[in-house]
Chain A
């Protein structure tokens, strides 16, 4: 089929413009979910094999198999199958299901460590190569790190930095392979390369090298297709090929890279165009369409990277963040919801609940009711999906073709990338303000110029003045670390496969982050509205705080403290915005912790809000557990006051409710969840994870994991299999606020 004679033509025929193709050819669907079909026998058979393999993986300490001989790459492995004759969508990262591969360019030590934790070693040739001849991203970063950065990193002011693992977050526009075929993409990149000419500045030289790498990657991608008997050089000719080609493009990325988050983008409504066409032409049925999507999603669920145990502290449960964004509106006001949006959600029934792919609903108040209701139903029944505010993001960036990188970060597809920046510990930064710039645990001088506070009771204005000095300095060190990390990542572990599917000179934002917001807000509120007396050791370091009187707590829709949270976010972001960034990336910030709220808490001394030393923070922008005493909406409204303009990389919030608290009947629960989402996003909030679970279910799963292999729970911008969390992480989830009004 010649796509230009099959679909409505436009700019997409002349240039690489997938968005234009989608806008011209999409068929929005406004009905309900009744048309959906169950899994085919082939799909069920494959999924049974996957479940068996997943069980083996769990029983084998989280690693079913790993190849210690081959360094992963697009063409490194022979074709792998689950059960070839039943697969309509093929392709595995390696030659065997759930077999992991070494990707040492991020950091060889991490690969060695991960293997040694399972009693394994890399093949001697690989070992020799990476210990003698091949430099990695991790090596480069530590060559350049200053003593000051190392200090901030080791004492827990900056944690989870992508300096020994791949940064991820970049989303290739995987649809391009299906729509254009790779030959056309190579042509485009060659034209771009020719236009990149002197004078030969650092930036120009670098870009020429990068584009050349991209062209090579595209050739490798064609070869990878050949291994599976697929001709990716040409566009997809039908719906099945469109799904297969898109998956192959994604597979190239996850064979080549093991970034923390390897998101998929927004492919469902693109694929729907091909599916609709084939259905209209009578070539396929609804059952076929669902089978393609089920098997595609099944493959996405099987994506794995080789990780060491320490990684699990910041990203618990072995997540891969295959984030697929579904829904939203076009700028012209039409809905982007298609039947394939429903088909993606339907995989959570056909294959059961799952944390991956990380299904993210782009919510607009104007989404069709049938879709809103179905999303709410899926949330209530699976706790597997998250929501982001399309009305907010679409209008503030004037963009309607974007994906979510990782948890909450918006990225225009094919036009925009981001540099992942983990996060800084803002609660520890506040303690610098009260400890004359010294680390509260070690006494190490971190920041100069902060006067010692001598008063018996903390004075709000003085603490704020000191806090501002601390924030400015922490921002400076953070920025320096980021610039080094991304310079080195580009140099040693450039994402050539993903970047080959993105415009040659994309927009870039650097994604800074903060943790401990609720602790900071409540601490400052206590200092302002109650009397807080620091208890100091013989070195004058705070070991505890005595609070006299009550104070407003973040999470109760009380401006007296919520505005403190809002202002702190605004201020720290403003400090970050002042600093120059590698490749002139635009500074942005998120309030997001993944699961690092636990490890951050461990590294942080007692805080003025009454939190004891070592206690976990609340995740993301959530209020601290148990302090939001006015119910769900008041808690949501506090978070909604954080201004998206100050935190454009996202503001993560996780809501856990028991089913009954949503309403008395299943219909009322759906209606009330839809209203909650409309209400929250109507207040310009950005993100919401929704869990609808009984605490008892989780307790039961802790004792009987074998009964709950697919129990999924949203944590902080992503979801995990609850049974794959450590005991400690499970406990932490249980201490979070479960809203249960009756």
Chain B
């Protein structure tokens, strides 16, 4: 089933999102991804098939019912999967949310560059959270199965140029993304950015492994160990002086 203008293909809905953007959020996980990250926590959202076509109207109503919970900074986050694969339908969705005065946020890998995706990044979405998968193209490929760092950086730049706030999220994978070189690259590349509001370090964990197994897929990062507290502290201490708001999740 393919997305249409008034429907989103939804994998699942979490009404108490407290880890995907500011405040309490309605998180709409969309089905389908353009990458296949080896540690993906939501492997069941990768396939482009499946999901439930859902009226935008009903999602807006659901978000409207949550207004009393949002406070000053809660709202709606679309995640996935890769939500930008459905950027066409996201536009009317976000426009309707805006009309309702509801804060919008996209959790994206930042690789899609359709005109609609660019419109969401440059103007429409109140917040964008970019996943920085790796700090080199080779590293990017070894984690996601494809290159794409250049496109991600272009999209981040687009957001920055349009003076819109965004967050970066960085999964700290031992042996893959936690070297001094990688961390130094992050500092050099992003610490001067004016509209980068928050930097989130996400420790690598294997909670999603069971999903790979239940899908009959091979979890390729089996041998990668979760971070030790010392590894997390080291990365945090190194990055902390360079970012105004940085947390380990």
| Contacts from A to B (Cβ < 8 Å) | 557, 629-635, 637, 657, 661-665, 668, 672, 675-676, 678-680, 682-683, 739, 741-742
Q: Given contacts A679-B24, A680-B69, are A634 and B19 in contact (CB under 8 A)?
A: no
Per the bound structure, the CA–CA distance linking A571 and B41 in Å amounts to: 46
Could you say which of B17, B62, B68 contacts A557, with CB atoms under 8 Å apart?
A: B62
**Does B65 belong to the interface (CB within 8 Å)?**
yes
* Residue contact A741 to B68, C-beta cutoff 8 Å: no
When distances are taken between beta carbons in the complex, the residues of chain B under 8 Å from A634 are 13, 15, 62
When distances are taken between beta carbons in the complex, the residues of chain B under 8 Å from A741 are 14, 16-19
Per the bound structure, the CA–CA distance linking A742 and B20 in Å amounts to: 9
Q: Distance in Å from the Cβ of B21 to the closest Cβ of chain A?
A: 12
* Residue contact A637 to B66, C-beta cutoff 8 Å: yes
When distances are taken between beta carbons in the complex, the residues of chain B under 8 Å from A675 are 23-24, 69-71, 74
Per the bound structure, the CA–CA distance linking A9 and B16 in Å amounts to: 49
Per the bound structure, the CA–CA distance linking A629 and B66 in Å amounts to: 16
Q: Mark B202-217, 1 if CB is under 8 A from A, else 0.
A: 0000010000000000
Q: Given contacts A633-B66, A675-B69, are A661 and B247 in contact (CB under 8 A)?
A: no
**Does B112 belong to the interface (CB within 8 Å)?**
no
Q: Distance in Å from the Cβ of A550 to the closest Cβ of chain B?
A: 11
Q: Distance in Å from the Cβ of B64 to the closest Cβ of chain A?
A: 10
Per the bound structure, the CA–CA distance linking A109 and B15 in Å amounts to: 51
* Residue contact B69 to A633, C-beta cutoff 8 Å: yes
B8-60 with Cβ < 8 A to chain A: 12-19, 23-24, 26, 41
**In the complex, number of A-B residue pairs with CB atoms less than 8 Å apart:** 75
Could you say which of B14, B16, B62, B68 contacts A678, with CB atoms under 8 Å apart?
A: B68
* Residue contact B18 to A661, C-beta cutoff 8 Å: yes
Q: Given contacts A633-B66, A633-B69, are A676 and B24 in contact (CB under 8 A)?
A: yes
Q: Distance in Å from the Cβ of B32 to the closest Cβ of chain A?
A: 20
**Does B249 belong to the interface (CB within 8 Å)?**
yes
Q: Given contacts A633-B26, A665-B247, A676-B24, are A739 and B16 in contact (CB under 8 A)?
A: yes
Q: Distance in Å from the Cβ of A734 to the closest Cβ of chain B?
A: 20
Per the bound structure, the CA–CA distance linking A192 and B217 in Å amounts to: 81
Q: Distance in Å from the Cβ of B31 to the closest Cβ of chain A?
A: 16
When distances are taken between beta carbons in the complex, the residues of chain A under 8 Å from B24 are 633, 672, 675-676, 679
The chain B residue with its CB closest to the CB of A742 is B19
| Contacts from B to A (Cβ < 8 Å) | 12-19, 23-24, 26, 41, 62, 65-66, 68-71, 74, 207, 247, 249
Per the bound structure, the CA–CA distance linking A729 and B89 in Å amounts to: 48
When distances are taken between beta carbons in the complex, the residues of chain A under 8 Å from B19 are 663-664, 741-742
When distances are taken between beta carbons in the complex, the residues of chain A under 8 Å from B207 are 742
* Residue contact A557 to B69, C-beta cutoff 8 Å: no
When distances are taken between beta carbons in the complex, the residues of chain B under 8 Å from A739 are 16
* Residue contact B18 to A672, C-beta cutoff 8 Å: yes
Q: Given contacts A668-B18, A739-B16, are A678 and B249 in contact (CB under 8 A)?
A: no
Q: Distance in Å from the Cβ of A683 to the closest Cβ of chain B?
A: 6
Q: Distance in Å from the Cβ of B34 to the closest Cβ of chain A?
A: 23
Could you say which of A630, A657, A668, A672 contacts B14, with CB atoms under 8 Å apart?
A: A630
Given A630-B15, A679-B24, list of 15 further CB < 8 A pairs?
A630-B13, A631-B16, A631-B17, A632-B15, A632-B16, A633-B66, A634-B15, A657-B16, A664-B18, A665-B247, A675-B71, A682-B69, A741-B17, A741-B18, A742-B41
Per the bound structure, the CA–CA distance linking A55 and B95 in Å amounts to: 61
* Residue contact A662 to B71, C-beta cutoff 8 Å: no
Q: Distance in Å from the Cβ of A376 to the closest Cβ of chain B?
A: 13
Closest 7 CB pairs of A and B: A679-B69, A682-B68, A632-B16, A633-B15, A631-B15, A634-B15, A631-B16
Q: Distance in Å from the Cβ of B11 to the closest Cβ of chain A?
A: 12
Per the bound structure, the CA–CA distance linking A629 and B12 in Å amounts to: 9
Per the bound structure, the CA–CA distance linking A575 and B121 in Å amounts to: 56
Per the bound structure, the CA–CA distance linking A672 and B24 in Å amounts to: 7
Q: Report 12 cross-chain contacts, Cβ distance below 8 Å, ordered by A residue.
A: A629-B12, A630-B13, A631-B13, A632-B15, A633-B16, A633-B69, A663-B19, A664-B249, A675-B71, A678-B71, A679-B24, A741-B19
> Quick one: which of B12, B14, B26, B62 has the most chain A CB within 10 A?
B14
The chain B residue with its CB closest to the CB of A675 is B71
Per the bound structure, the CA–CA distance linking A663 and B17 in Å amounts to: 9
Could you say which of A630, A631, A672, A680 contacts B23, with CB atoms under 8 Å apart?
A: A672
When distances are taken between beta carbons in the complex, the residues of chain B under 8 Å from A635 are 15
Per the bound structure, the CA–CA distance linking A682 and B71 in Å amounts to: 11
When distances are taken between beta carbons in the complex, the residues of chain A under 8 Å from B13 are 630-631, 634
When distances are taken between beta carbons in the complex, the residues of chain B under 8 Å from A661 are 16, 18
Q: Distance in Å from the Cβ of B216 to the closest Cβ of chain A?
A: 23
When distances are taken between beta carbons in the complex, the residues of chain B under 8 Å from A678 are 68-69, 71
Per the bound structure, the CA–CA distance linking A661 and B62 in Å amounts to: 20
Could you say which of A657, A662, A663, A683 contacts B68, with CB atoms under 8 Å apart?
A: A683
Per the bound structure, the CA–CA distance linking A632 and B17 in Å amounts to: 9
Per the bound structure, the CA–CA distance linking A557 and B16 in Å amounts to: 12
Per the bound structure, the CA–CA distance linking A683 and B66 in Å amounts to: 9
When distances are taken between beta carbons in the complex, the residues of chain B under 8 Å from A676 are 16, 24, 69
When distances are taken between beta carbons in the complex, the residues of chain A under 8 Å from B62 are 557, 634
Q: Distance in Å from the Cβ of B55 to the closest Cβ of chain A?
A: 13
Q: Distance in Å from the Cβ of B38 to the closest Cβ of chain A?
A: 19
Per the bound structure, the CA–CA distance linking A142 and B74 in Å amounts to: 57
Q: Distance in Å from the Cβ of B152 to the closest Cβ of chain A?
A: 24
Q: Distance in Å from the Cβ of B42 to the closest Cβ of chain A?
A: 10
Q: Distance in Å from the Cβ of A593 to the closest Cβ of chain B?
A: 24
When distances are taken between beta carbons in the complex, the residues of chain B under 8 Å from A680 are 68-69
When distances are taken between beta carbons in the complex, the residues of chain A under 8 Å from B12 are 629
Per the bound structure, the CA–CA distance linking A662 and B71 in Å amounts to: 15
The chain A residue with its CB closest to the CB of B72 is A675
* Residue contact B17 to A679, C-beta cutoff 8 Å: no
Q: Given contacts A634-B62, A663-B19, are A679 and B68 in contact (CB under 8 A)?
A: yes
When distances are taken between beta carbons in the complex, the residues of chain B under 8 Å from A742 are 19, 41, 207
Q: Distance in Å from the Cβ of A501 to the closest Cβ of chain B?
A: 38
When distances are taken between beta carbons in the complex, the residues of chain B under 8 Å from A672 are 18, 23-24
Q: Distance in Å from the Cβ of B29 to the closest Cβ of chain A?
A: 11
Q: Distance in Å from the Cβ of B198 to the closest Cβ of chain A?
A: 11
Per the bound structure, the CA–CA distance linking A662 and B18 in Å amounts to: 6
When distances are taken between beta carbons in the complex, the residues of chain A under 8 Å from B17 are 631, 741
> Quick one: which of A662, A668, A741 has the most chain B CB within 10 A?
A741
Q: Distance in Å from the Cβ of B82 to the closest Cβ of chain A?
A: 19
Per the bound structure, the CA–CA distance linking A663 and B247 in Å amounts to: 12
When distances are taken between beta carbons in the complex, the residues of chain A under 8 Å from B249 are 664
